[in-house]
Amino acid sequence: MARMVDMMDLDLLSDPVFVNIVVGLAVVYTAGINFSMIYPFYLHMDVGMTLADTATCMSVLAAFDILSRLIVPQITDRLNVGSRITYLVAAVLLAASRSGTYTHLLKIPSH
């Protein structure tokens, strides 16, 4: 058993920072997948987009996702912005954009 622990480096699971990062990434990944699965239904049923418009919107969303994953690291590297700050800014912007979407989804009036 000790050989298995050494081989798979399971000692990392005793590090609370590592566990916090892994759990946080799992939550973010799961939330992203759930948003991607629900968003087309929201666009089609609540916003009233046609299927073609919904597909176009999802394609544009995916294209900008890929572009941002390629461009943002280059920009933050040149500006010497740390990974934690980049993650924090991205999380805040993502939460703000999605909460606006969910406000309309839940029919909650925004102020």
The number of domains in the chain is 1
> Which residue range forms the structural domain that includes residue 47?
2-105
In a domain, 76, yes or no: yes
**pTM assigned to the model:** 0.65
Q: How far apart are CA 57 and CA 1, in angstroms?
A: 51
In a domain, 14, yes or no: yes
Span of 8-12, 92-96, 103-107 with lowest mean pLDDT: 103-107
Q: Does residue 106 carry a pLDDT above 60?
A: no
Spatial contact of 31 and 102, defined as CB atoms under 8 Å apart: no
Q: How far apart are CA 20 and CA 18, in angstroms?
A: 5
- Residue 101 confidence (pLDDT): 58
- Residue 71 confidence (pLDDT): 94
Spatial contact of 83 and 25, defined as CB atoms under 8 Å apart: no
In a domain, 74, yes or no: yes
In a domain, 110, yes or no: no
Q: Does residue 87 carry a pLDDT above 60?
A: yes
Neighbours of 54 (CB within 10 A): 19
In a domain, 82, yes or no: yes
- Residue 91 confidence (pLDDT): 82
In a domain, 85, yes or no: yes
